């Protein structure tokens, strides 16, 4: 049974201030919790599972994890999901190694991506295409926001996500790397010979890349349009762009 104190603690982790204070975050749902349990990068603090989840994943749970069996209603009360018939975990935030990028790496850099769902989906896309490093400007949505974690579908365990002053970092490194920026004023991706290396900058959902960041981009690129839609969702655009960079590797 989940006590009122534990529910209150888990509820508090929905707020960034308290996540930072406790250096902990919440993971919900079968897929994400299983990925967490299999990852060496996070310290598990609490694990609550339903009887159904336990029966389906006994082999994993009995590898030394401490857990409590609770009801679906308790999981819903503690978490953010409208329904949850599987599991909920609380884990400690990851201690990331220092950021290291080489000219041969393919890296995604996000400039003020505010929507948690977009950020989570971009991290999942990065994972799909084998990109393990994403750089975020300081105003991006919080990596540990429950909506971000949920949208990654477990990819949060594999993609290292760094927050920094993107303008200053690019100013320091742009002469060492090829820096691409997504822009309607860019060169048509379909006409370019691309290698899977460089830094790809994608901007804010409404305003695009900030001018102070754009200053350090040395190649603007665009996805050609064939219809009348005004724009693409930033996560969708990320997938299309990365696919073009990876196409030669297929």
Residue 27's pLDDT is what? 98
Measured distance CA(135)–CA(168) in Å, rounded: 13
Q: What's residue 15's pLDDT?
A: 98
Q: What is the DSSP letter of 54?
A: H
Q: Round to whole Å and give the CA distance between 180 and 106.
A: 11
Cβ neighbors of 134 (< 8 A, separation 6 or more) are 107, 108, 109, 110, 122, 123, 126, 159, 160, 161, 162
Are 240 and 108 in contact, with CB atoms under 8 Å apart? no
186: left (phi over 0), alpha (psi -120 to 50) or beta: beta
What is the per-residue pLDDT for 228? Answer: 93
The whole-angstrom separation of Cα 2 and Cα 82 is 17
CA distance 116 to 100: 25
Q: Where are the alpha helices (DSSP H) in the chain?
A: 4-12, 16-22, 30-38, 51-56, 58-61, 72-78, 116-128, 146-152, 166-173, 211-214, 234-246
Q: Which two tokens stand for residue 73?
A: 């209603």
Q: Can you read off the two tokens belonging to residue 162?
A: 């760094």
Strands 160-164 and 87-92: unpaired
* pLDDT of the residue at 250: 53
pTM: 0.96
The pLDDT of residue 230 is 87
Of 90, 151, 82, 165, which is closest to residue 116 (Cα–Cα)? 151
Q: pLDDT tens for residues 19-35?
A: 999 999 999 999 999 99
| First-to-final CA distance of the chain | 50
Check residue 54 and give its pLDDT: 96
Which residue is listed with tokens 């009801």? Answer: 71
The predicted-structure confidence for 95-126, as pLDDT tens digits, reads as follows 999 999 999 999 999 999 999 999 999 999 99
Give all domains of the chain, ordered by start, each with its CATH number.
Answer: 4-92 (3.30.1330.30), 106-249 (3.40.1280.10)
| pLDDT averages per 10-residue partition of the chain, 250 residues | 94 98 98 97 97 96 95 97 97 97 96 98 98 98 98 98 98 92 96 95 95 96 95 96 86
Per-residue confidence (pLDDT) for residue 249, from 0 to 100: 67
């Amino acid at each position: 049974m989940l006590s009122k104190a534990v529910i209150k603690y888990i509820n508090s982790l929905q707020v960034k201030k308290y996540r930072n204070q406790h250096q902990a975050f919440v993971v919900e749902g079968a897929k994400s919790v299983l990925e967490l349990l299999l990852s060496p990068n996070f310290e598990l603090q609490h694990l609550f599972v339903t009887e159904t989840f336990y029966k389906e994943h006994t082999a994993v749970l009995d590898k030394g994890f401490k857990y409590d069996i609770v009801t679906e209603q308790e999981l819903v009360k503690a978490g953010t999901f409208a329904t949850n018939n599987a599991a909920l975990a609380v884990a400690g935030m990851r201690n990331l190694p220092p950021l290291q990028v080489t000219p041969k790496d393919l890296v995604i850099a996000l400039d003020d991506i505010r929507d948690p769902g977009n950020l989570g989906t971009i991290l999942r896309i990065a994972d799909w295409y084998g990109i393990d490093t994403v750089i975020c400007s300081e105003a991006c949505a919080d990596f540990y926001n429950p909506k971000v974690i949920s949208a990654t579908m477990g990819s949060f365990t594999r993609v290292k996500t760094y927050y920094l002053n993107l303008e200053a970092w690019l100013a320091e490194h742009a002469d060492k790397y090829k820096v691409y920026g997504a822009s309607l004023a860019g060169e048509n991706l379909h006409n370019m010979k691309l290698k899977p290396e460089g830094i790809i900058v994608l901007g804010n959902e409404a305003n695009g890349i900030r001018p102070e960041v754009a200053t350090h981009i040395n190649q603007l690129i665009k996805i050609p349009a064939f219809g009348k839609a005004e724009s693409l969702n930033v996560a969708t655009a990320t997938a299309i762009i990365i696919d073009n960079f990876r196409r030669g590797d297929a």
